């Protein structure tokens, strides 16, 4: 896995600043050797962390070079001091790398409400600058981890015509994952040259289809950030709308964000199973989405999935609760390919379905038979371990 | 507790039909000696259980005499057969008691998707009729229990002028509790004479202020039913709008439903603590409500409450996620009286707050300082036991 392609023209480093965790890296730097096009999406939570507020201004230019990230402390609910701290970090990075301050972006994840230990952070920044180029995407992914149990990196290499390029996504997830992007950070790097408007639209589309349809606990974080950088090291001319190269980029972006979404759901706090909820036959896209989310977020469905129980009654209740148009007597439900509900009634194939649920992946297929719209949501089971992790996160 | 007042003119019985549970009562009958005024509210889930569909028609007349209830099987997602079964039970009760069939209501709670074992149910009905008058409200409450850990009965006796009367509420709750009434059944009986329109309005108001602001896991059941009966055994003239007697009835109804709501939240599946979320200073009633619900339903807040962790950052994140208008820098939060957030920032009184959280009740007081609206929601902590109960409910 760690031997995947890396886009050209990016340097990486990590440092162990001891912000909260000991004996591991907790800061990372991603630096493009040349100015890159930048696009980003952020949490829609009204309480936004300092790094999010800081970045929202900076990405307006559509240009950037560097991302500095830390784990262990979210720098959220830290008021003016938090904002000053975030800006001071960016400034220090900019000065040391001799790039404009506005070209540095920042992301943080971890505990809310505690100011950053700036002395340690600044020593960390020093370490990042000194070791730039000595790490790779996997090291960055490891430095970003909080309650994640594994680092998340996905790369795709592809091309169109004479242009070969790579898209690499580096993410962290785990808890507080919810539509509209929850405590997740994701940095997507490509060496393709892409115009600002095109990159922004392609990112928005990929996020809408993947991260925003991924849920662990319905929570939405104050820090969610997805940043895409395109530095043009591939030497291509920026692709025009509708060109084969742009289509290729979009497809690769979607593959990378889709695979990262699956990894984030699978690594939901305490999760033992990936849950994929597919709804089709909905009367509208909105209905498909809310029906799928209602099932994917239901604690009763998620605990049943944990217990390997094909409890379709809970799925029916969650569908009825979703607000989506449905007729009870036309609903069909299959779990891992075993049809457990036909015409709204149980088929008495629960033993078979239970056996089919033995693996690490549970797919719930729902057909509402009311129209032509479909949606798919990634989620995970709800376990005792989720409660243990979150009852003891700080104490 | 069991020596509480009971409204005049009602007879009760219970039976052990063995529908799902062995060695305990699982059916109950409530019967008014005279025709009573009836009002009811039901689940808003689009998937409605057979007894709900059955009752929704019957309560339109505003009159009724009898409620038959069973636990262990919800008779939900059972199609036409379920509806025929529910009607057959009502018919049998009506014939045996010699009352009009339309005056019998029915409620069920338990597993979804399995037809009722009608032979056993009908033997249970026979037992109910034979033993009518040999039980009391507490016996009925016990027969209704599913994952409840204690029976729930609240009585208030009061009066106005020459009229003395009693209001008794009998409820079951536990899991699938959510606003708009989740798997809960509640029967409210009074011996006051009350007109149909007046009873309906008083019940709707009490439910809106109590049960509909009670959440255990955000789930909404297919079976939720609250039925109020007023049989007039107190001999009064039905109170007019605005009369002291009606005000007294409304106040007592509110006390009974409020106390039952607290009991239901406290008895949330696996819960060890009652969580009360109070929001004030909201810009609108809707904002107050959604802010309070967002905090009360947040798995991260609920696990922190379980761990005795005054994790105000998660409360801030849930507020920001709620959609309610807020300015981060004006939010104030107190936990069990200890102010942990002032002007949007931590006050470093977390040790004190943690000590204040040692008991069985946690009150989170939030002031948004944006307006004059307030709301209060009952909830509970989220525990490993909740997961255990629901991962193993059927299997």
Q: Which of B124, B107, B100 is nearest to B13 (CA)?
A: B124
Element (H, E) at A108: strand A104-111
**What pLDDT is recorded for position A218?**
66
Nearest residue of B to residue A392 by CA position?
Answer: B307
Distance from chain centroid for Cα A90: 23
Of the residues A37, A183, A210, A225, only one is catalytic, namely: A183
User: Each residue of A195-220: pLDDT tens digit?
Assistant: 999 999 999 999 999 998 988 776 66
3-class SS of residue A245: helix
Region B229-238: what's the mean pLDDT? Answer: 96
In order of A37, A181, A194, A238, B73, the CA distances from A197 in angstroms are: 9, 21, 9, 11, 57
Burial of A109 (0-12, 13-18, 19+ CB in 10 A): buried
What is the distance between the alpha carbons of residues B244 and B165, in angstroms, rounded to a whole number? Answer: 13
Nearest residue of B to residue A307 by CA position?
Answer: B391
Cβ-defined contact of B328 to A46 (cutoff 8 Å): yes
Q: Token pair for residue B309?
A: 């962790």
Size of interface A-B (CB pairs under 8 A): 204
B266, B219 Cβ separation under 8 angstroms: no
For residue A300, give the nearest of B217, B298, B343 by CB distance.
B217
**What pLDDT is recorded for position A111?**
85
Percent of chain A exceeding pLDDT 70 equals 95
What is the distance between the alpha carbons of residues B204 and B171, in angstroms, rounded to a whole number? Answer: 16
What order of strands is seen across the sheet that includes strand B338-342? B345-346, B338-342, B332-335, B361-367, B274-282, B373-380
Interface test with A, best of B44, B317, B325 (most A CBs within 10 A): B317
A116, A76 Cβ separation under 8 angstroms: no
Q: How confident is the model at residue B111 (pLDDT cuts 50, 70, 90)?
A: confident
For residue A45, give the nearest of B309, B321, B345 by CB distance.
B321
Region A119-126: what's the mean pLDDT? Answer: 98
Region B289-306: what's the mean pLDDT? Answer: 93
Cβ-defined contact of B304 to A217 (cutoff 8 Å): no
What is the distance between the alpha carbons of residues A77 and B218, in angstroms, rounded to a whole number? Answer: 27
Please give the DSSP secondary-structure letter assigned to residue A284.
S
Cβ-defined contact of A219 to B299 (cutoff 8 Å): yes
For residue B77, give the nearest of A299, A313, A390 by CB distance.
A313
Shortest CA gap A244–chain B (Å): 39
DSSP percent split of chain A into helix, strand, coil, nearest 5: 35, 30, 35
Element (H, E) at B316: helix B312-321
Has this prediction a pTM greater than 0.90?
A: no
Percent of chain B exceeding pLDDT 90 equals 82
Residue bearing the bigger pLDDT, A261 or B216: A261
B248, B364 Cβ separation under 8 angstroms: no
Region B302-313: what's the mean pLDDT? Answer: 93
Cβ-defined contact of A306 to B391 (cutoff 8 Å): yes
Element (H, E) at B292: helix B285-297
Phi/psi of residue B235, nearest 5 degrees: 80, 10
Cβ-defined contact of A46 to B298 (cutoff 8 Å): no
Q: Token pair for residue A240?
A: 């025009």
Whether pLDDT at A395 is above 50: no
Whether pLDDT at A393 is above 60: no
User: Each residue of B35-68: pLDDT tens digit?
Assistant: 999 999 998 888 899 999 999 999 999 999 999 9
Nearest residue of B to residue A311 by CA position?
Answer: B394
Of the listed ranges A89-98, B78-87, B315-324, the least confidently predicted one is B315-324
A183 counts as catalytic: yes
B105 beta partners: B67
Average pLDDT of every residue of chain B: 92
User: Each residue of B190-199: pLDDT tens digit?
Assistant: 999 999 999 9
Region B210-220: what's the mean pLDDT? Answer: 80
Region A88-98: what's the mean pLDDT? Answer: 98
Average pLDDT of every residue of chain A: 92
For residue A395, give the nearest of B77, B219, B309 by CB distance.
B309
Element (H, E) at A367: strand A361-367
Query: Which residue spans within B77-224 are E strands per DSSP?
Result: 104-111, 152-160, 163-172, 185-190
User: Each residue of B333-345: pLDDT tens digit?
Assistant: 999 999 999 999 9
Of the residues B183, B210, B222, B383, only one is catalytic, namely: B183
A256, A217 Cβ separation under 8 angstroms: no
User: Each residue of A251-293: pLDDT tens digit?
Assistant: 999 999 999 999 999 988 889 999 999 999 999 999 999 999 9
Q: Token pair for residue A170?
A: 């580096």
Cβ-defined contact of B346 to A384 (cutoff 8 Å): no
Region A94-102: what's the mean pLDDT? Answer: 97
CA dihedral of residues A358, A361, A362, A367 (deg, nearest 10): -140
Cβ-defined contact of B45 to A321 (cutoff 8 Å): yes
């Amino acid at each position: 896995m760690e031997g995947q392609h890396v886009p050209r023209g990016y340097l990486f480093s990590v440092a162990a600043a001891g912000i909260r965790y000991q004996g591991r890296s907790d800061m990372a730097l991603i630096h493009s050797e040349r100015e890159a096009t930048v696009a980003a999406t952020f949490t829609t939570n009204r309480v936004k962390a300092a790094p999010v507020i800081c970045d929202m201004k900076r990405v307006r230019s559509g240009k950037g070079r560097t991302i500095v990230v830390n784990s262990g402390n979210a720098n959220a609910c830290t008021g003016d001091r938090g904002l000053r701290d975030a800006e001071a970090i960016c400034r220090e990075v900019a000065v040391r790398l001799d790039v404009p301050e506005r070209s540095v972006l920042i992301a943080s994840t971890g505990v809310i409400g505690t100011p950053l230990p700036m002395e340690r952070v600044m020593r960390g920044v020093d370490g990042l600058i000194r070791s730039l180029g000595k790490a790779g995407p996997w090291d960055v992914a490891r430095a970003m981890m909080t309650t994640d149990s594994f680092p998340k990196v996905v790369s795709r290499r592809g091309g169109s015509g004479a242009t070969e390029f790579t898209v690499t996504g580096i993410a962290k997830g785990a808890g507080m994952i919810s539509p509209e992007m929850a405590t997740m950070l994701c940095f997507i790097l490509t060496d393709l040259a892409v115009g600002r408007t095109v990159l922004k639209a392609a990112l928005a589309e990929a996020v809408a289809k993947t991260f925003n349809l991924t849920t662990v606990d319905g929570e939405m974080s104050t820090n969610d950030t997805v940043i895409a950088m395109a530095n043009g090291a591939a030497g291509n001319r920026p692709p025009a709308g509708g060109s084969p190269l742009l289509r290729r980029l979009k497809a690769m972006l979607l593959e990378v964000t889709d695979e990262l979404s699956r990894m984030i759901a699978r690594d939901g706090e305490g999760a033992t199973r990936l849950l994929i909820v597919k709804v089709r036959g909905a009367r509208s896209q909105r209905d498909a989405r809310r029906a799928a989310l209602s099932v994917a977020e239901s604690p009763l469905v998620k605990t049943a999935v944990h217990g390997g129980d094909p409890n379709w009654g809970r799925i029916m209740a969650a569908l009825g609760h979703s607000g989506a148009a449905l007729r009870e007597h036309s609903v069909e439900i299959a779990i891992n390919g075993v049809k457990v509900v036909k015409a709204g009634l149980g088929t008495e194939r629960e033993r078979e379905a239970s056996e089919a649920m033995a693996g690490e992946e549970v797919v719930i297929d729902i057909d509402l038979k009311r129209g032509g719209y479909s949606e798919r949501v990634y989620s995970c089971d709800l376990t005792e371990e989720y409660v243990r992790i979150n009852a003891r996160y700080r104490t």
